Amino acid sequence: MKTTAPLVKRRPIIGAMFMGAVLALGAALWVQRGPDLTYLPDLAEVHLPQGKSLYVQVHEVTLADWNRCFDAGACALQLRPPVGRAEQSFPATGISWIDANDYIAWINRNARHRFRLPTTAEWLSIAAEVIPDKPVPIFASPNLDWASAYLIEGLKSRRLEAAGSYSVTKDGVADLDGNVWEWTQDCFNDPGLPSDRCPAFYVMGEHEAVMSFLVRDPARGGCAVGSPPAHLGMRLVTDSKPGA
Amino acid sequence: MTKLYNPGLMPTSRRNVLRGTALAGAAAFVGGIATPAAARLGPHARVRPVSPMVVQAQADAIAKATPMDVSGLTRVRQELVAPPFAPVHEQVASGPPKIVEITMETEERLMVVDEDTGASIWALTYNGSVPGPLIIVHQDDYVELTLRNPAASQMEHNIDFHASTGALGGGGLTHVFPGEETVMRWKATKTGVFTYHCAPGGEMIPYHVCHGMNGTVMVLPRDGLKDGDGNPLRYDEIAYFGEQDYYLPKDEKGDYKQYEAAGDDFADSLDAMRTLTPTHSVFNGAVGALTGENALKSTVGKTVLMIHNQANRDTRPHLIGGHGNFVWQSGKFGNAPEVGLETWFVRGGSSAAAMYTFEQPGVYAYVNHNLIEAALLGATAHFVVDGEWDNALMEQLVPPRATET
């Protein structure tokens, strides 16, 4: 982070404080504005059904990725690996929709490229081959719709695993079938609602879930009797190949 | 749940230190038959400084007591099962009082308390489960317990039955060190659901209880349960909930600490327990142990007896979407059950019983209705109930729709 700091000082008012040579260098970088490779995640190209390509982060955002954002003062949370583990290669979890968007704003500023969260439709296309069929509802009666998403079998262990512990799609996208649910940009029940007015977004994993934008840890139980996700994380997508 | 068994097969210096602690603790809590126990212990045991007069008085009293002739009583063996289930039993006793033989083995095992965070504990258990198994007898039966502590254990254990009479609930007669076993018989004179727990002495008492060593014994009236008017009450199934408050030590970063063997967390645990603020409050030993794949199953029309044990701390069970039709809050069947309750109170150090007949299918959450504990600390279980929906009881007339503006 510290070694790349001069690159991000691109505001003229700050640049003016430097000697002429530094100013000239800064101006040159400003003009070039190519993506900053030190911030670009590994991406896999996925062909969507409509014939369009989407560039999808191979792994979920990891602790190492996330804590760069924290160190830069742009993300509120400092994340740590699970108890007894030291690896920074675990997915970043315990993040709300707001946290996820803080991260996106930071990485877009630094990578000089536009990343975003996927839509539910995009996520389902990316993950189709590794996601199991929708389970048969445990209750068939329409009166029991409210309880029918409860899962009593086929649940994955909730223990967090390092990135790369689950399946990889033929396009090369990993861990879509893991126990981290990924935030999408889709507002529950009302796609037309501006995102800053949306109370809950879809999160995608082995089953679809809906989560308040504030929730970091989808606590089990209480009145929420569905099968809440184990962990909340995120994966970046982008519509254009960086640098192309 | 991870099943890692205590690897500490050989005596270590740490274990000797712990033994010393256990003994010092036991000494602080006057009880036990100190002299013979100490004599068995060998070189690393400290003799408990219990007043010789007290010890002598108890030993004398036991020696003078008339031996009990139980030769005329029928013996039956009760095979204990892991919670949330109940052992095979009769609701109405057939025949005269019996001797019910049970065996409990103490087991110190590493258990995951919360898979999400990896929080774990070297649980101290009876028969490997938190809570310990449910024991069911009838009034005037005798419980004949064999308590065994395997040589692989790190610690001393014993048992205090709140349902029993004398010797600190049996705690004074049942101290077993690793590699020992003991047999004790007690008469079930009072009816109800009662807590039992380990109580080795001093600060070891809350340490063992807060590491899982507690459970329920149910003493049924010989002619079964009754409502306030004396009408018989029968159940189709039992759901046995042990609510366990854990106080897991954290490191300076706030992460849960891990330990190599049972007892290694002793000093840290006492500090955490002193806050009186549990890090977890769970049913069946772990967060989510009775949800999802392990949710309890029932059917509309079935009557369930929900037995709730909390050996240490007050709690307030509530069945979301249902009720307590007949509730013995204090857990004692000599009192008429309260009827139609929404939430009931379980005093720390007791068990309670609540009976309910399911009227609607769906998912019910059984929670500690301190909802912070239910949702954040783990005190939630689920019932999945089959059957036909009854619109007379509830009907959705307008599904959520946009309000007119």
Q: Please indicate, yes or no, whether residues A6 and A53 belong to a single structural domain of this protein.
A: no
- Region A19-41: mean pLDDT is 63
Which among B240, B211, B206 is positioned nearest to B84, based on CA atoms?
B240
DSSP of B356-367:
EE--S-EEEEEE
Q: Which two tokens stand for residue B63?
A: 């020696």
Does A158 reach chain B within 8 Å, measured CB to CB? yes
What ipTM is given for this predicted complex?
A: 0.73
The answer to whether residues B31 and B164 belong to one domain is yes
How far apart are the C-alpha atoms of A136 and B324, rounded to whole Å?
Answer: 32
B362 and B326 housed in the same domain: yes
Domain shared by A29 and A51, yes or no: no
Distance (Å) from the alpha carbon of B396 to chain A's nearest alpha carbon: 8
Q: Cβ separation of A220 and B291 shorter than 8 Å?
A: yes
In terms of domains, do A101 and A207 share one? yes
| Enclosing H/E stretch for B240 | strand B237-246
* Active site annotation includes B369: yes
**Is residue B342 included in any domain, yes or no?**
yes
Q: What is the pLDDT of residues A77-116, one digit of tens each?
A: 999 998 888 888 999 999 999 999 999 999 999 999 999 9
Weakest mean pLDDT among A4-18, A87-101, B146-160, B385-399: A4-18
**Chain A environment of B243 (Cβ under 8 Å):** none
CB B344 within 8 A of CB B335: no
What whole-number distance in Å separates Cα of residue A35 and Cα of residue A40? 8
Same domain, B169 and B285: no
Question: What is the SS3 assignment for A189?
Answer: coil
A150 interaction partners in chain B (CB closer than 8 Å): 295, 363, 382, 384
Distance CA(A217)–CA(A231), nearest Å, equals: 7
Indicate whether A105 and A28 sit together in one domain.
no
Chain A residues within an 8 Å CB radius of B250: none
What is the full DSSP assignment across B175-212?
-B-TTEEEEEEEE--S-EEEEEE---STTHHHHHHTTT
Question: Are A29 and A43 within one domain?
Answer: no
Alpha-carbon gap, residue B243 to B237, rounded angstroms: 19
A175 and A199, same domain (yes or no): yes
Using an 8 Å Cβ cutoff, are B74 and B98 in contact? yes
Tokens in use for B98?
């019996």
**Cα separations (Å) of B63 from A79, B6, B66, B187, B273?**
64, 38, 8, 19, 40
Tell me the CATH number at B334: 2.60.40.420
Rounded Cα gap, residues B280 and B278, in angstroms: 5
**Claim to verify: residue B299 and residue B255 sit in the same structural domain:** yes
**Quick one: B112 and B245 in the same domain?**
no
Q: What tens digit of pLDDT does each residue of B370-388 get?
A: 999 999 999 999 999 999 9
Is residue B243 domain-shared with residue B104, that is, in the same domain?
A: no
C-alpha to C-alpha distance for A29 and B243, rounded to whole angstroms: 62
Q: What is the mean pLDDT of residues B25-44?
A: 37
Does residue A82 sit at the B interface (CB-CB below 8 Å)?
A: yes
Q: How far is CA B141 from CA B94, B138, B169, in A?
A: 12, 6, 16
Range of the domain at A11: 1-33
Amino acid at B350: S
Q: Are B182 and B241 in contact (CB under 8 A)?
A: no
> What local confidence, expressed as pLDDT, does residue B46 receive?
40
Amino acid at B132: G
pLDDT at A153: 76
pLDDT of residue A113: 95
How many H helices and E strands in chain B? 6, 22
Residue B310 maps to a domain? yes
CA–CA dist B116, A229 (Å, integer): 11
CB contact under 8 Å between B376 and A230, yes or no, is: no
Residue B249 banded pLDDT, cuts 50, 70, 90: very high
Q: Is B35 found in the same domain as B8?
A: yes
- The pLDDT of residue B13 is 38
Residue A16: what pLDDT?
A: 42
Q: Is the pLDDT of residue A35 over 70?
A: yes
Contact A83 B253 (CB under 8 A): no
Assess whether pLDDT exceeds 70 at residue A60: yes
Based on the residue annotation, tell me whether B343 is a catalytic residue of this protein. yes
B353 and B292, same structural domain? Answer: yes
Interface test with B, best of A223, A227, A232 (most B CBs within 10 A): A223
Q: Over chain B, what is the mean pLDDT?
A: 88
Chain B interface disruption, residue of A93, A136, A144, most B CBs within 10 A: A144
Using a CB–CB cutoff of 8 Å, tell me whether A141 touches chain B: yes
Give yes or no: residues A9 and A92 share one domain.
no
Indicate whether B79 and B177 sit together in one domain. Answer: yes
Do B287 and B208 fall into the same domain?
no
For B171, residues 6+ apart whose C-beta sits below 8 A from its C-beta are: B31, B32, B158, B159, B160, B199
For residue B66, the 8-state DSSP code is P
Measured N-to-C along each axis, helices A63-71 and A97-111 cross at an angle, to the nearest 10 degrees, of 80
Q: Which of A80, A139, A221 is opposite residue B375, by nearest beta carbon?
A: A221
Pick the closest to residue B135 from B189, B176, B81, B173 (CA basis).
B81
The backbone torsions φ and ψ at residue B116, rounded to the nearest 5 degrees and listed phi first, read -60, -40
Q: B380 contacts in A (CB within 8 Å)?
A: 220-222
Residue B80: predicted pLDDT: 98
B154 and B43 share one domain: yes
Structural contact between residues A204 and A175, judged by C-beta atoms closer than 8 angstroms: no
Assess whether pLDDT exceeds 80 at residue B161: yes
User: Could you list the residue range(s) of the whole structural domain that residue B214 is in?
Assistant: 4-48+72-221
Confidence class for position B92, pLDDT limits 50, 70, 90: very high
Q: How far is CA B395 from each of CA A75, A149, A193, B229, B298, rounded to the nearest angstrom?
A: 46, 19, 30, 34, 22
| Tally: H helices and E strands in chain A | 6, 7
Please, which residues bridge with residue B383 across strands? B296, B364
Nearest to B362 among A139, A159, A230 (CB): A139
Residues A21 and A117 in one domain: no
Specify whether A11 is located in the same domain as A58.
Answer: no
Active site residue B89: no
Q: Cα separations (Å) of B244 from A90, A103, A196, B130, B208?
A: 30, 38, 41, 8, 12
Residue A201, classed as helix, strand or coil, is strand
Specify the pairing of strand B180-187 against strand B142-149.
Answer: antiparallel
Nearest by CB to residue A159, choosing from B118, B363, B375, is B118
CA-angle at B32, arms to B31 and B36, nearest 5°: 145
Number of domains in chain B: 2
pLDDT given for residue B51 in this prediction: 58
Same-domain pairing of B209 and B306 = no
- Residue in chain B closest to A190 (alpha carbons) equals B402
What's the one-letter identity of residue A81?
P
Residues of B contacting chain A (CB within 8 angstroms): 112, 115-120, 253, 255-258, 287-288, 291-293, 295, 320, 361-363, 365, 367, 371, 374-376, 378-380, 382, 384, 388-389, 391, 396
The number of distinct structural domains making up chain A is: 2
B295/A155 touch (CB, cutoff 8 Å), yes or no: no
Tell whether A123 and A230 lie within a shared domain. yes
Interface test with A, best of B113, B115, B116, B279 (most A CBs within 10 A): B116
pLDDT attached to residue B68: 87
Residue type, B47: V
- Expressed in percent and rounded to 5, the helix, strand and coil fractions of chain A are 30, 15, 55
- Residues A123-173: pLDDT tens digits? 999 999 998 877 777 888 888 888 877 777 777 788 899 999 999 999 999
* Predicted structure pTM score: 0.82
